[in-house]
Structure 1
Amino acid sequence: MANPFSFTNSVTEPRRLGVFSVGIACLLLFQTHSAAAESPTTVCRESGSPLHLHVTGNFRDYPASSVAEAVQNSFPCPNEEALKSTCFSRGPLHLKASVVQPRGQGQANGHIAVTLFWENEAIRSSRVSLSPFSNSQPPSVIKGDLARAIKLLWSACTTETTDQ
């Protein structure tokens, strides 16, 4: 009986290498696409507590870059009360914004979820449904929904609701 792990068969070896090469190429392409969509941007520098913003998700058939641009261009920075909270006393923070708007007509409305991280620990998060207007509009329409989600997040960081 032949060893199934040997690569001595000259007929199947090129086929195995071809399938393996295609698999590696697809994996690299997927990783490059994901990394481009998730590259962090620093926002709220003027507030004294800059945030590293990671944007993920999809908005119907629009590219991930247009979703990231819409979030970055309409991102509301924390208010003074939130900046005084213990959420911001920990050090450099990361905020992940995930936008999901399904493709096709008749689909349920999407949502925006925002989570505030310190190192690898999630501190606070909020989630809101996208307005019905987002079903037929470009990603720039999420400005109001993003403001609602961030307002909920900043209010969760106020001194009354933060862990001591």
Structure 2
Amino acid sequence: MSVKRGQANTANQFARYGVMILCLVCVSLRPAHADDAADDICKTAGQGIRLHIDGTYGGYPFSVLRDAVLGGLACPSDALQLQAFAVIAVPPPHLRITVMRPLGQGQQGTISAMLYAQGRFVIGERMSLSSFSRTQSPASVKADINLVTTNLWTDLAARITHHKPIIPQ
């Protein structure tokens, strides 16, 4: 009887510690996401913009994705874009860029850019990764980042020409 009790205790310990080890392994394997740190960008436009980056890019370290996003960003530049940006420039708005490219060859991926100002959502853009970006390293996503942020500023400026409010009601 004491042998069975000893085996039961050993089995319980294996189960308990096995579950704890499994949980630690699962937590350590989760994809890297950005922390709440923000970069100051577009300093030539008002007080600039607070950039938040998150997402994953096919198993690459987050720092590589961050460098690619920073290298591809477009800031408001033409007169109409700067005029629209001036309406939301104080305090500095927040831009959140999320890049998601799952692991695996040929997997689709997406980029989204969302602009927030004065505590409200202002405008967003979303697009699929180009076929080139889906098959290459994160550095290849720079052109896609540039396109999505250029579209964001162009669409924001279009609100002036269409006599719409910069920050939706």
Task: Please say if 1:84 is aligned against 2:86.
Answer: no
Counterpart in the other structure of 1:96: 96
Deviations for 1:5-62, whole angstroms, at most 9, x for unmatched residues?
xxxxxxxxxxxxx9xx99xx99x989xx6553x4100001123340000001111011
If you compute each CA radius of gyration, which structure gives the higher value, 1 or 2?
2
Secondary structure in 1 matching 2:127: strand
- Does the 8 Å CA contact 1:55/1:96 hold for their aligned counterparts? yes
What RMSD, in angstroms, separates the aligned Cα atoms of the two structures? 3.1
TM-score by length of 1: 0.73
The alignment covers a number of residue pairs equal to 146
Moved over 6 A (4+): none
Counterpart in the other structure of 2:7: none
- Aligned residue runs from structure 1 range 1-164, under 5 A: 34=33, 36=35, 38-79=36-77, 80-85=79-84, 87-90=85-88, 91=90, 92-107=92-107, 109-158=108-157, 159-161=160-162, 162-163=164-165
Query: Which whole-Å CA distance do the structure 2 matches of 1:98 and 1:35 have between them?
Result: 10
Query: Which whole-Å CA distance do the structure 1 matches of 2:34 and 2:99 have between them?
Result: 16
Q: What's the offset of the Cα at 1:122?
A: 0.9
Secondary structure in 2 matching 1:46: coil
Unaligned residue ranges in structure 2 (runs of 5+): 1-16
Change (3 A) 1:35 1:61: closer
Change (3 A) 1:29 1:35: farther
